Amino acid sequence: MKGYLLILTVTLLAACSRSTHIPIPVVTSYAATGQQKMQAAHHWNVLAYDVAKRLKRSVDLTFSKASKKPPLIINITDKQQKDPFAKAFSSLLTTKLVQQGVVVLTGDTKYAGETLGIDYDVQVIHHKREGLLAIARNRKTNTEVIITTSIIRNQQYIFNDSRIYYINNGDNDHYYHHDYAAKTYQVVNQ
């Protein structure tokens, strides 16, 4: 019996020691892709146009059997009113939606029917390692912005669109106001 227990113990120890030598995945990079860089208010206008097209298409599909599509309201917070990008994006998105024939109401409208609120969020990401990410026209940047636009109806997303762009170092203040806690993220251990 002692011999059997000894063999069993040695076998278990050998199995355990082998499990610590299981190879782990090797670190690799993603294949090279392109990512746009936002450098001007014109780029905000291009984004608003693209989001408006997608948003309209999503609303049209969601309400394809409705005789009348619900009007939209673009929600902008007091904090967003202080941000150059957020304020401009609200205005540009309104323009692009109206140009496509979508009914857009002002936020203070009293409307008896169903409306769909458009929300958007901006996250600035500042990577720790300088110049690691992008070199565009000899200007290095380690800062990105994620812009997410969404419509939620009865706790269900009927539209959600997230875009990621490089931005110039030093342009962070276009995307958040310094008077309140900004959503700035730092990525470490790259």
- The per-residue pLDDT string of the chain (190 residues; one tens digit each, 9 = 90 and over) reads 666 666 766 565 666 555 556 788 888 888 888 888 898 999 999 999 999 999 999 999 999 999 999 999 999 888 888 889 999 999 999 999 999 999 999 876 777 678 899 999 999 988 887 655 555 555 678 889 999 999 998 889 999 999 999 998 888 889 876 554 445 555 665 5
In a domain, 44, yes or no: yes
Q: Does some domain include residue 18? A: no
The whole-number pLDDT of residue 32 equals 83
User: Which structural domain range is residue 155 located in?
Assistant: 35-187
- Predicted confidence at residue 96, as pLDDT, reads 97
113 lies in some domain: yes
Q: Give the 3-state secondary structure of the chain.
A: CHHHHHHHHHHHHHHHHHHCCCCCCCCCCCCCCCCCEECCHHHHHHHHHHHHHHHHHHHHHHCCCCCCCCCEEECCCHHHHCCHHHHHHHHHHHHHHHHCCCCEECCCCCCCCCCEEEEEEEEEEEECCCCCCEEECCEEECEEEEEEEEEEECCEEEEEEEEEEEECCCCHHHCCCCCCCCCEEEECCC
Residue 10 lies in a domain: no
Q: Would residue 20 count as lying in a domain?
A: no
- Whether 85 maps to a domain, the answer reads yes
pLDDT at 182 (0 to 100)? 46
Inside any domain, residue 53: yes
- Domains held by the chain: number: 1
pTM higher than the cut 0.85: no
Q: Does 27 map to a domain?
A: no
